[in-house]
């Protein structure tokens, strides 16, 4: 199975939808964090002296980059194999494979979004700390993620098999769908892991899903139309954004050398992602400044910021996707003479992500609206993991560091006066 273009995107972190800590652990003045003035006025940074938020941002970034993201990608590789086998068992002709996956994926995504209130009432009956709640919510993430991948895979097959793709066509599609997303004020929904991590224990209601026009989640015609717009239109455009940019990268980054394409795509992608993580502080200030001057300038800036960051994300998925695809094809796992690589690739990452309370990172759901976040928070990537678990301790440490800084300044002033 060709793993090129495999990618994962987490549910958008709408503040109106869930309690996931969407605010980055990176302090707004991170470029000055952890710096101490020494003799001669030279500034330097040490791990111990570093701002505690910056320390947690670095730790959480590495977890997202090198643990959560590879696990999610291996899972997508496994589900690709699962879908291929389902189509084979159901005897679906190759000519109908894409449309079958598309209808099945969109149908389930729309159903989950439209019936979210009923699902909550029927499936969440006990304490959120109960084992039953734990099992139900994680299985929900498992099933919904398979529907997400079916939706994406169908569009990928249509794009690859029915369009005479070259770099010009791929670029035209990428620009067109990106402009459409921006015109719908949905540009921020393109970002995925490693710039998005969801912590299961911080989600109050796993069934709650935001929609583009924010209709009440009731069995009404308006909510159904809103759900269709959010899934069939916005999510489809997001998938096409990913597929077309991946195709452009296929033509640009060592198209005739698979090994170099894997290495350089991954390296470029990780560098871009890390640069954008570090750029959040200044970008937040720019966004907050635009917010006071012109709302549309703020939205345009945030959309451009997310689009640039997502190029790095797509490159990471292109490189790692090709690597895991080649690994699975060349070193398959057999059981009783049957290739079960897809089964291990599906179950092992899911179990591991569930154990670390991050199975929601597998899921694509909801629709954030550009401009909904105030004071520069629309720039934030949701990469907090340990920063979320230790939020209170971090605040205590910040207060302690601030008190120590004030005390040090007082002592220095007293020495100068003497």
pLDDT in tens, 139-181: 999 999 999 999 999 999 999 888 888 999 999 999 999 999 9
Q: Would you call 43 helix, strand, or coil by DSSP?
A: strand
CA gap 153, 80 in Å, rounded: 8
Rounded mean pLDDT, 99-115: 95
What value does the mean pLDDT of the chain take? 85
Report whether pLDDT(245) > 90.
yes
CA atoms within 13 A on the CB side of 124: 18
CA gap 19, 21 in Å, rounded: 6
pLDDT of residue 201: 82
Q: How confident is the model at residue 366 (pLDDT cuts 50, 70, 90)?
A: confident
Q: How far apart are the first and last CA of the chain?
A: 76
Least confident of 46-55, 186-195, 271-280, 374-383: 46-55
For residues 361 and 193, is the Cβ–Cβ distance under 8 A?
yes
Ranked by mean pLDDT, the top range of 30-44, 192-206, 264-278 is 264-278
CA gap 304, 314 in Å, rounded: 15
Cα→Cα distances 327→1, 192, 211, 247, 270, Å:
11, 23, 38, 21, 20
Report whether pLDDT(351) > 60.
yes
- Report CA torsion sign: 395, 397, 403, 408: negative
Strand spans (E) along 129-278: none
Report whether pLDDT(396) > 90.
no
Q: Could you tell me the pTM of the whole model?
A: 0.86
Helices 167-183 and 295-330 meet at what angle, rounded to 10? 140
Using alpha carbons only, give the angle 75, 79, 85 rounded to the nearest 5 degrees. 150
CA gap 254, 263 in Å, rounded: 10
Cα→Cα distances 213→232, 371, 400, Å:
14, 13, 44
CA gap 307, 123 in Å, rounded: 37
Q: Give me the residue spans of the domains in the chain.
A: 30-331+357-417
Q: Does 194 sit behind a cis peptide bond, omega within 30 degrees of 0 on the bond before it?
A: yes
For residues 82 and 204, is the Cβ–Cβ distance under 8 A?
no
């Amino acid at each position: 199975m060709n793993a090129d273009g495999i990618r994962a995107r987490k549910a958008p972190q709408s503040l109106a939808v869930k309690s996931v800590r969407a605010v980055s652990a990176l302090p707004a003045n991170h470029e000055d964090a952890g710096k101490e003035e020494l003799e001669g006025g030279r500034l330097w940074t040490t791990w111990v002296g570093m701002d505690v938020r910056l320390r947690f941002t670095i730790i959480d970034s590495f977890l997202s980059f090198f643990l959560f993201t590879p696990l999610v990608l291996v899972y997508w590789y496994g589900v690709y194999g699962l879908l291929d086998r389902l189509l084979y068992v159901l005897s679906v002709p190759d000519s109908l494979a894409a449309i079958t996956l598309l209808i099945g994926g969109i149908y389930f995504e729309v159903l989950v979004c439209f019936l979210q209130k009923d699902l909550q009432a029927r499936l969440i009956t006990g304490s959120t700390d109960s084992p039953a709640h734990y099992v139900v919510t994680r299985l929900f993430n498992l099933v919904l993620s398979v529907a997400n991948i079916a939706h994406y895979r169908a569009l990928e097959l249509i794009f690859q098999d029915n369009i005479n793709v070259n770099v010009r066509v791929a670029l035209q599609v990428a620009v067109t769908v990106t402009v459409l997303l921006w015109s719908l004020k949905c540009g921020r929904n393109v970002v995925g892991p490693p710039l998005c991590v969801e912590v299961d224990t911080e989600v109050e209601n796993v069934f709650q899903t935001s929609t583009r026009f924010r209709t009440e989640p009731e069995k009404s015609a308006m909510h159904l139309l809103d759900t269709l717009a959010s899934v069939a239109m916005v999510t489809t455009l997001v998938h096409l954004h990913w597929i077309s940019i991946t195709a452009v990268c296929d033509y640009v980054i060592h198209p005739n050398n698979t090994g170099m394409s894997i290495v350089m795509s991954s390296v470029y992608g990780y560098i871009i992602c890390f640069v954008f993580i570090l750029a959040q502080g200044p970008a937040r200030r720019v966004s907050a400044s635009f917010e006071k001057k012109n709302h549309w300038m703020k939205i345009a800036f945030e959309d451009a910021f997310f689009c640039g960051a997502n190029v790095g994300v797509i490159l990471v998925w292109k490189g790692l996707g090709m690597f895991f695809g080649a690994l699975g094809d060349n070193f398959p796992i057999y059981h009783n003479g049957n290739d079960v690589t897809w089964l291990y690739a599906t179950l092992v990452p899911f179990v591991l992500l569930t154990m670390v309370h991050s199975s929601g990172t597998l899921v694509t759901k909801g629709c954030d609206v550009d401009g909904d976040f105030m004071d520069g928070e629309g720039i934030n990537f949701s990469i907090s993991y340990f920063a979320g678990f230790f939020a209170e301790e971090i605040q205590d440490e910040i207060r302690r560091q601030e008190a120590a800084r004030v005390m040090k300044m007082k002592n220095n002033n007293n020495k100068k006066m003497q």
